[in-house]
Structure 1
Amino acid sequence: MDVYSKALADFYAGKTEDGLWLNTSYGDPEEMPLWYFFRSYEEMPDLEKMALSVCEGRILDVGAGTGCHSLVLQHFDNEVTAIDTAAHAVSVMKESGLKNVLHQDFFELENQKFDTLLCLMNGLGFIGKLDRLESFLNKAEELLSEEGQVILDSSDISYLYENAQKPSDRYYGEVSFQYEYKGEKGEWFDWLYLDQNTLVDKADKLGWHTYILHQDNDQYLARLIKK
C-alpha cells in the first residue's frame, strides 16, 4: 500500500491522528491534516460549494480521493461517478456509500459520456506538466456530451517567487511532491498549478471558452466549454 493510501486507511479506521506530510520541490514540508480529505459540505470552502452547485447532468469526479465531493452530489440526487487511481481511496469511497466508483486512470476511461467533468482540490494538478494540458482537454472532449463542461480549480503560485527568480527551464507552476507518513516516504510525483491567464490563453488556442466563476486570493474556479 502506498504512503497516501496507508494514511487514508489508518484515518478511516480511526487508527491515527497523525498528519500526512508533503515534501515539496520549492520549500519546506507542508502538513496535510487527514480530516480534510473527509470533510463535510459544511467544512468545504465557498469555492468548492460553488463548484458543486454548477455541476449538471451525468458527472465524473476526477481524482475523487475519498469522495467527499461525490457524496455531496449524490446526496442531492445527482448522477455521479467517482474515479481515482489510489486503490484504498476507492475502497473508502465504496464503503462510504458511493454508488458509482471506479479504480481508474482518467486518460484510460473509454466508452462513456458525461455532462460535467469535475476536478477539485487543484484539480488539474494530476496532469503534472503544462504541456499535458492539450492531452487533458482532448480527453475531456472525448468524454463530454455535446454541451458538456469542465469545472476545475487551480492556483497561481507566483507568490512563491516574490523574492526569487522564476525557473527558466520550465513553467513556474510545475512542481514536485512526495508524501510522507509516520516517517515513510513515497515516490516523488509531478504536480501542476496553473495560473488563470495561462489557462485562458492555452484553452482558447485549443478551442475552449474559459469562464472564471470564483476567485479567492490566488485560487480560482473555472468552467471550460468547447467552442
Structure 2
Amino acid sequence: MKDLMGRAIWDYFHKEDPKDLQTETSISELDELPVDYLFRDFEEMNKIEKKALKLASGRVLDIGAGAGSHSLYLQNERNLDVTALDISPKSIEICKLRGIQKAVAQNMLEFSGETFDTILLLMNGTGIFQSLKVIDIYLKKLHSLLNKNGQILIDSTDILYMFDTDEDGGVYIPAERYYGELDYTVHYKGESEDPIKWLYLDFNTLKNAAENNGFRIEKVVQDEDSYLARLTEK
C-alpha cells in the first residue's frame, strides 16, 4: 500500500505542497476530494456525523480515523477515552501530532486486547467490509471488540440512485454481484493506489447481516440516500 491518503494528510498538516486527492470507483468518474475536508471541525460535519458523535459514550474506538477529526472532538470536547484506529501509518502519525492520545496504525481485523462501549465507523463506515462475501468476518470481529451493552455507530449510502433506470422505473444493476460492491481507487500527486474493494450498503441488507451476527439494529438518521445505524448486542 502506497498510503496516498496518509501522504495527503501528512502534506496538508506539514504544509508541504498538499494537493487535493482524486478518487474514482468502478461506476463513477474521477472526483476531487479536498484534503482540508479531512481536517474539518464539528460545525463543518454533516448531520450523520454530528449525531453519531453526540451518541458516542464511554470508551470509544474510532475505526478508519483518517486525520482524526472525529476522535479529536470526542477527546477534547466530550472528554471521552478515545482510540483512533487506521490502516494508514501516516494518518496515525498525524493523529498523534494533532494531540490524540491513543492512536494505532493497524487493520481492524488484527486489532485486539481491548473492548469498547462505542465503536465508530463513519464516512461510509460499511466500506471497510469490502463485500457481502466477507461481511460476517467483520461483524464478528466488531462483536468481539464491543463491551456488554455497547453500541456500534455506522453509516452508509444506498447507491441505487447511481444506476440507470428504464422507462418503467426498473433499475439496471449488475447480475453477478450486489450493486453496492465497488472497486475504489485513490490518486495523489500523479500516483495511484491499487484498487480496493469498497462496500456501500442499503439499510435492509445491513440489517439482515447484522441480525445474522447477533446484533439488534436501528436506523438513527436518514439523510437523503445516506443513513446512520446503531447496532447493539441481542
Question: TM-score with structure 2 length normalisation?
Answer: 0.93
Q: How does 1:52-201 map to 2 (within 5 A)?
A: 52-75=53-76, 76-163=78-165, 165-201=172-208
Q: Bigger shift: 67-76 or 193-202?
A: 193-202
Could you tell me which amino acid in structure 2 is paired with residue 52 of structure 1? Answer: L
Q: Which amino acid aligns with 2:20?
A: G
Name the residue aligned to 1:21.
Answer: 22
Structure 1 gap ranges (5+): none
Deviations 1:85-117 (A, max 9, x none): 101000000000000111111111112111111
Name 2:168's counterpart in structure 1. none
Q: Which residue of 1 aligns with 2:34?
A: 33
Query: Which structure 2 segments of 5+ residues have no match?
Result: 166-170
Deviation at 1:17, TM superposition (A): 5.0
Tell me how far 1:205 sits from its aligned partner.
Answer: 2.5
Q: What is the DSSP-based 3-state SS (H/G/I as helix, E as strand, rest coil) of the residue aligned with 1:176?
A: strand
Moved more, 114-123 or 199-208: 199-208
Q: What's the CA shift for 1:37?
A: 0.6
Distance 1:82 1:116 in 2: 12
Q: Which residue type is aligned with residue 47 of structure 1? A: I
Q: Does 1:219 align with 2:234?
A: no
Q: Distance in 1 between matches of 2:94 and 2:162?
A: 34
Aligned residue type for 2:151: Q
SS in 2 for 1:224: strand
Structure 1 residues 2, 207: CA separation in 2 closer, same or farther (over 3 Å shift)?
Answer: closer
- Other-structure match for 1:44: 45
| Aligned counterpart, 1:9 | 10
Give 1:47 shift. 1.0
- Aligned equivalents of 1:27 and 1:82: distance in 2? 30
The one-character-per-residue Cα deviations of 1:140-186 (angstroms, maximum 9, x if unpaired) are 11111111111000000001113361111111000011111122111
Other structure's SS at 2:125 match = coil
State which drifts further: 66-75 or 27-36: 27-36
132-141 or 118-127, which moves further after superposition?
132-141
Deviation of 1:206 after TM superposition, in Å, equals 2.4
Where has structure 1 moved over 6 Å in runs of 4 or more? none
Partner deviation per Cα, 1:19-49 (whole Å, 9 max, x = no partner): 1001221121111110111111111011101
What count of residue pairs does the alignment treat as equivalent? 227
Q: CA RMSD in A?
A: 1.2
Report the Cα distance in structure 1 between the residues aligned to 2:82 and 2:117, rounded to whole angstroms: 10
* Distance across 2 between alignment mates of 1:120 and 1:81: 14
Within 2, Cα distance between the matches of 1:80 and 1:197? 30
**Contact kept in structure 1, 2:58 and 2:118, CA below 8 Å:** yes
